[in-house]
Structure 1
Amino acid sequence: MQGVQGAAIAAGSRAGLEEGARTADPALHALCVLARTHRIAADPATLAHQLGCSPGKGADIDLLLRAARHLAVRQRAEIKLRTFPFTRYGTVGAAAVRTVTADAVNDERRGANGTPGNDTLEGLAGNDTLNAGAAEDVMSGGAGNDMYVVDTAGDVVIESANEGIDTVASSVSWALGANIEHLWLTGQDNINATGNELANVLTANAGDNILDGAGGIDTASYHYSAAAVTVSLTATGAQVTGGSGTDTLLNIERLLGSSHNDTLTGNAGANILTGGAGNDTLDGGAGNDTLIGGAGNDTYRMARGHGRDTIIEDDATAGNKDVVQFASGITADQLWFRQVGNNLEVSIIGTEDKLTLNSWYAGSGYHVEEFRTSDGHVLIDTQVQNLVQAMASFSPQAAGSVTATPLDDQARLVPTLAPPLWG
């Protein structure tokens, strides 16, 4: 074994070093980076498995170990682990000691960066970030929610089942391997993302992307878009998103918007549309959809044939105004309001279509502030309960009807339906 100053260190002996040490034994793949003055202890019986660092004065760092293709940070009980860099000291026999950067906090988070060579990076338990660097690298995060940064098509990412929610951040076209949930396209190049059989989240970059969820229930995410996007799951080819290039969505069931004013539209499936921050417009289309506006003044569209949609609102911001907008041909007297548990249901008379506003009765933060009809009427949230109570004494008309009540009951409801409830 050699010190950085070239002095020989025999196995089982000790020597003080200022910066670091490297081994001359090709069976040992280890790198110890020292803070101030440390002593290195090598036991012949365990040399191929660990390299011990005895702390010197003022030392905070104990050991970085990479042996038998494992990367770990070990600490003495009295030493606090801190973030520190690991520096390359060249090769050991036929194997290379690569440049890595470890970040260990309470032995829970570990990371490594590869170099231009072909690296093998391995994490242990904890939420690791493994950065392949250039060339073709092999990365395995182990248990925990791991992040893999790749920039070469030849990189290999290995994950086992039930070992956390893992993400690949890629600057090249990438197809997820087994047991990896999320794929984030980085940069501005025109690259593509392909999912696997899991419920994947595929995040677009600023370029033109093909996002193919493959199997599973998958989400196309525009979370990092620099501007508002307009995205529809009904489009069968490339669509101009406005804020995130021209994208093609295949086998996608869910959409996640940006922090801007997005317009998201579903298809005939059971979609989940999530607006995020910004003043978003969400239209589930046919199928039983879930619409989640998030922060901002959001608009939810509802039409005949849209099925049974659920709105999830949770925004108590003062002055916030979320709106349900009913499509052309739906008038105020064709809507039926009722309380079901903690939820508010709004049905279109004579159809199977309805909106469920989740947790409406749990507080005003779960409300939309206005219901608007195509004939220009507006019902504000503070008047909804009066309408619910009035309609509770009647039964809605059967399928095929176009108004809320039979003719002999309409006169009793007119005062309720008229202003000030419906403006």
Structure 2
Amino acid sequence: MLSQRSLPVLVSSLALGLASLTLSAPPAYAGVPLCDGEEVTIDLNQPTHPNPNRPDADVILGTPGADEVEAGSGNDLICGEGGDDVLLPGPGNDEVRAGEGNDTIDGGNAHDEIYGDTGEDDLTGGVGNDRLDGGADVDIVRYGGANVGITLDLALATPQANGGNVGTDTLAGVEDVQATRFNDVIHGSDDANDVEAGDGADEVHGLGGDDRVDGGFANDMINGGPGNDRVDGRRNNDAVFGGSGNDYVWGARGRNHVEGGPGDDTVGAGSSDDVLYGGLGDDTIHAGLGDDALFYLDAEGGVVVDLRLTGPQDTIGAGTDTISGAEQLYGSIYRDVLLGSGLDDVLIGMAGNDSLAGRAGDDLLIGERGRDTCRGGKGKDVLQACER
């Protein structure tokens, strides 16, 4: 008698006076679960299963819930399935298919392939040449364990990161970056990127998208690029550029160079002596403490700027700006009118036939190039390169 697994069982050829028996190949046993097409050796859905942290080359299947998996030293394949999983594949050359959910995956010390799938995933390749694919949604790649600074470029046709023990990682589906504590070079993409540059002297280019960049604790150069960006140099002496778009650009602590660029920007600095450019557009400029200089060299025409005003003022050549805390004011290459605050100001006309008025306070007025008119007002004033 044939078993049920052997059906269909019989083909009869009575017309030929012959009888023949044809047996089909038995189908695969439906009870064997698969992970990316491979038979599972450790199924976390079973009440009892081997410990994943063993030296075998295992195929590990997670549950629909939130799993924590720490694999062993073999070359393992892990499928997280659903849930917000924490997957640690171990020191082998592993492949991780995280599945749905907001997963955290750390590849360890080998050449790994990590696929985040849907959800906001947190990916660390670790040591070795890894493939890190965040999949759908907003995903982050971390390089806090690198032993030197890295170069990471999300704008390449095949995005990559390389440097030191990181090796060369191939990236896909990644939007956010946590860099190293060393000197990094980071290029974002046209997506909205969130970049934590870390403690080194970093160079960060946000490119397109509405980016957020945190410079960390060294002398950084940050350019947000096109888009409505939030750029914070944090500490030390930073050069920070918002690029085009309505940006929030801040120098924080240290002697900073801060430029808003075209667009309606918020530009600010901390307690040191900073250089600020609002750029074109209706800008809000907070110079902060220290002896800060505000420049209008990128104006499209002559500007009228009054440091005594605290509300919005139409500069004519560079938009409607709101200014606070600036002690030095530099005009454009056109015909400008620069007015002091009544405290100790420095007014510099630059090119063009400018009119400078210091008002009260001990002011320094420098006409620079052009036929300039300078009036000091009350106080001990110094006038240079002025016709009258």
TM-score, with normalisation over the residues of structure 1?
0.48
Among 178, 203, 218, the residue aligned to 1:143? 218
The answer for the alignment partner of 2:286 in structure 1 is: 212
Query: 1:243 deviation in Å?
Result: 0.8
Query: 1:273 deviation in Å?
Result: 1.7
Query: 1:131 deviation in Å?
Result: 1.2
In the alignment, the residues of structure 2 paired with residue 259 and residue 174 of structure 1 have an alpha-carbon distance, to the nearest angstrom, of 26
CA contact 2:258–2:277 (8 Å) conserved in 1? yes
In the alignment, the residues of structure 2 paired with residue 213 and residue 203 of structure 1 have an alpha-carbon distance, to the nearest angstrom, of 10
Query: 1:72 deviation in Å?
Result: 6.0
SS at match of 1:227: coil
In the alignment, the residues of structure 2 paired with residue 237 and residue 73 of structure 1 have an alpha-carbon distance, to the nearest angstrom, of 44
CA contact 2:215–2:232 (8 Å) conserved in 1? yes
Query: 1:270 deviation in Å?
Result: 0.9
Alpha carbons of 1:247 and 1:164: their partners in 2 closer, same or farther (altered >3 Å)?
closer
In the alignment, the residues of structure 2 paired with residue 166 and residue 237 of structure 1 have an alpha-carbon distance, to the nearest angstrom, of 27
In the alignment, the residues of structure 1 paired with residue 107 and residue 360 of structure 2 have an alpha-carbon distance, to the nearest angstrom, of 58
Query: 1:133 deviation in Å?
Result: 4.5
Work out whether 1:301 is the aligned partner of 2:374.
yes
Work out whether 1:67 is the aligned partner of 2:140.
no
Letter of the structure 2 residue corresponding to residue 167 of structure 1: V
Count of residues paired in the alignment: 261
The answer for the alignment partner of 1:249 in structure 2 is: 323
Letter of the structure 2 residue corresponding to residue 51 of structure 1: G
In the alignment, the residues of structure 1 paired with residue 271 and residue 111 of structure 2 have an alpha-carbon distance, to the nearest angstrom, of 47
SS at match of 1:129: strand
Among 360, 368, 380, the residue aligned to 1:286? 360
In the alignment, the residues of structure 2 paired with residue 234 and residue 96 of structure 1 have an alpha-carbon distance, to the nearest angstrom, of 50
RMSD: 4.9
CA contact 2:303–2:335 (8 Å) conserved in 1? yes
The answer for the alignment partner of 2:188 in structure 1 is: 113
Written as runs of structure 1 = structure 2, the 5 A alignment for 1:384-423 is: none
Alpha carbons of 1:140 and 1:126: their partners in 2 closer, same or farther (altered >3 Å)?
closer
The answer for the alignment partner of 1:372 in structure 2 is: none
In the alignment, the residues of structure 2 paired with residue 72 and residue 29 of structure 1 have an alpha-carbon distance, to the nearest angstrom, of 18
User: Greater Rg, structure 1 or structure 2?
Assistant: 2
Query: 1:224 deviation in Å?
Result: 1.2
CA contact 2:185–2:202 (8 Å) conserved in 1? yes
Among 119, 123, 127, the residue aligned to 1:50? 127
Alpha carbons of 1:248 and 1:144: their partners in 2 closer, same or farther (altered >3 Å)?
closer
Alpha carbons of 1:159 and 1:87: their partners in 2 closer, same or farther (altered >3 Å)?
farther
The answer for the alignment partner of 2:386 in structure 1 is: 323
CA contact 2:233–2:240 (8 Å) conserved in 1? no
Query: 1:122 deviation in Å?
Result: 1.9
Work out whether 1:184 is the aligned partner of 2:259.
yes
Query: 1:115 deviation in Å?
Result: 4.9
Alpha carbons of 1:23 and 1:139: their partners in 2 closer, same or farther (altered >3 Å)?
farther
In the alignment, the residues of structure 2 paired with residue 239 and residue 263 of structure 1 have an alpha-carbon distance, to the nearest angstrom, of 13
Query: 1:218 deviation in Å?
Result: 3.0
Q: Deviations over 1:216-253 (max 9, x none)?
A: 33333212112221222234543332211232323322
CA contact 1:72–1:123 (8 Å) conserved in 2? no
The answer for the alignment partner of 2:237 in structure 1 is: 164
The answer for the alignment partner of 1:134 in structure 2 is: 209
Letter of the structure 2 residue corresponding to residue 144 of structure 1: N
Q: Deviations over 1:185-220 (max 9, x none)?
A: 22244x443443343433223222332334333333
Bigger helix share: 1
Among 192, 204, 227, the residue aligned to 2:301? 227
Query: 1:23 deviation in Å?
Result: 8.2
In the alignment, the residues of structure 2 paired with residue 138 and residue 208 of structure 1 have an alpha-carbon distance, to the nearest angstrom, of 22
In the alignment, the residues of structure 2 paired with residue 138 and residue 222 of structure 1 have an alpha-carbon distance, to the nearest angstrom, of 25
The answer for the alignment partner of 2:275 in structure 1 is: 201
The answer for the alignment partner of 2:84 in structure 1 is: none
Alpha carbons of 1:245 and 1:117: their partners in 2 closer, same or farther (altered >3 Å)?
closer
In the alignment, the residues of structure 2 paired with residue 23 and residue 278 of structure 1 have an alpha-carbon distance, to the nearest angstrom, of 64
Alpha carbons of 1:66 and 1:112: their partners in 2 closer, same or farther (altered >3 Å)?
farther
Query: 1:66 deviation in Å?
Result: 5.7
Query: 1:74 deviation in Å?
Result: 6.0
CA contact 1:88–1:97 (8 Å) conserved in 2? no
Work out whether 1:87 is the aligned partner of 2:158.
yes
Query: 1:141 deviation in Å?
Result: 5.0
In the alignment, the residues of structure 2 paired with residue 220 and residue 166 of structure 1 have an alpha-carbon distance, to the nearest angstrom, of 15
In the alignment, the residues of structure 1 paired with residue 370 and residue 320 of structure 2 have an alpha-carbon distance, to the nearest angstrom, of 26
CA contact 2:233–2:239 (8 Å) conserved in 1? no
Written as runs of structure 1 = structure 2, the 5 A alignment for 1:330-409 is: none
In structure 1, the gaps of 5 or more residues are 1-9, 14-21, 31-40, 54-64, 76-83, 312-321, 326-423
Identity %: 24
Query: 1:301 deviation in Å?
Result: 1.5
CA contact 2:376–2:383 (8 Å) conserved in 1? no
Alpha carbons of 1:272 and 1:86: their partners in 2 closer, same or farther (altered >3 Å)?
farther
TM-score, with normalisation over the residues of structure 2?
0.51
In the alignment, the residues of structure 2 paired with residue 307 and residue 227 of structure 1 have an alpha-carbon distance, to the nearest angstrom, of 31
